[in-house]
Amino acid sequence: MNIFEQADLARSKFTETDEEIYNSLIKLPDVFSENSITKASELCGCSAAALTRFTKKIGFNGFKEFQYKLIKDLKDGNDLKYATEKDQYSFLTSSILEIAKKSEFKQLRDQILNTKYVYTFGFNLARLAAEFLSIGLNNDFGNKLLSQCLPYDLISKNYSSDDTLIIFSTYSGSTYQTLLNKISNYPTNAKPYICLVTMNSKHKLRKYCNNTIVLPSVKQATANHEATLELAAFNMFTDILITKTHS
């Protein structure tokens, strides 16, 4: 019996919260298989305690045992229910709207509004979003030096800690570690403010940054649409950031 069949058998005892968790599990199993209980509960809009109660209600001792079974079922390719593409994009949209309510997002927006110079750059899939951000902001902030610059050109810039913002978007990996490490070693009064936008909450480069915004990462279980979804997440975030900054 796979994990969804176990959950189906217990549905008569579900509370409204249990039903919401169940629907999230059906649509986005990777949220539960790849994250800690804290992150998984945050992404599906419930408390860690509620998620623990749900796992016990469907026959497990707790989240760890539930997660182990889910990972095994996904790996074995059992007859699981996967999210449709519509579900995936709906999840991304709602999750990024929630990010826009967080202090890290508001801090970035305020930095854009109050900083004299803004530089944006991105790596791989995030590069297009970085260019879009530069163009979108430049429409209303022409007095700033808003540019999608070549990253290593940044090393030669003369910074001030209060007037320069760098927004670096990347999915994962340690590309530009040399660049960010060098900038981080500048004197305190000459360091720019650096914001990292990524999908990896444990990104190796976040230690060099003043602010890190973690976007939701969703894998398509039935087809290889991961790159499309990742690009969509960066573009959605950029669009909301531009809108909120202009409002």
3-class SS string, 157-224:
CCCCCCCEEEEEECCCCCCCHHHHHHHHCCCHHHCCEEEEEECCCCCHHHHHCCEEEECCCCCCCCCC
- In this prediction, residue 37 carries a pLDDT of 94
Query: In this predicted model, what pLDDT tens digit does every residue of 107-121 receive, in sequence order?
Result: 999 998 888 888 888
Domain end point (choices 21, 48, 81)? 81
User: What pLDDT does residue 50 have?
Assistant: 94
Whether residues 107 and 77 share a domain: the answer is no
pLDDT the model gives residue 224 = 43
Residue 86 inside a domain? The answer is no
At which of 34, 52, 81 does a domain end?
A: 81
Burial of residue 14 (number of CB atoms within 10 Å: 0-12, 13-18, 19+): middle
Domain that holds residue 156: 97-246
Same-domain pairing of 103 and 39: no
- The pLDDT tens digits of the residues spanning 205-221 come to 889 999 999 887 665 43
Residues 138, 68 share a domain: no
Tell me, yes or no, whether 88 lies in a domain. no
Q: Are both 30 and 102 inside the same structural domain?
A: no
Band the pLDDT of 141: cuts 50, 70, 90.
low
Check pLDDT > 50 for residue 157: yes
| Cα→Cα distances 10→5, 54, 62, 132, Å | 9, 10, 15, 47
Whether residue 89 lies inside any domain: the answer is no
How far apart CA 110 and CA 220 sit, in angstroms, is 34
Residues 141 and 216 in one domain: yes
Q: Where do we find the tokens 């202090």?
A: 103
Q: Is residue 139 part of a domain?
A: yes
**Phi and psi dihedrals of 147, rounded to 5?**
-145, 145
How far is 59 from 223, CA to CA, in rounded Å?
Answer: 30
Q: Per the confidence metrics, is the pTM higher than 0.85?
A: no
* One domain for residues 193 and 134: yes
CATH of the domain at 29: 1.10.10.10
Give the number of C-alpha atoms closer than 13 A to the C-alpha of residue 241, restricted to the C-beta side: 31
Kindly report the average pLDDT of the chain as a whole number.
Answer: 82
Instruction: Specify the number of domains making up the chain.
Output: 2
Kindly state whether residues 108 and 217 are assigned to the same domain: yes
| Mean pLDDT of the region 209-236 | 72
Residue 180 lies in a domain: yes
The 10s digit of each residue's pLDDT in 41-79 is 888 888 999 999 999 999 999 999 999 999 988 887 654
> 73 versus 226: which is more confidently predicted?
73
Pick from 64-68, 88-92, 95-99, 207-211: least confident: 88-92
Please, which residues bridge with residue 64 across strands? none
Domain end (from 81, 110, 132): 81
Task: Note whether residue 23 is domain-resident.
Answer: yes
Q: Does a structural domain hold residue 91? A: no
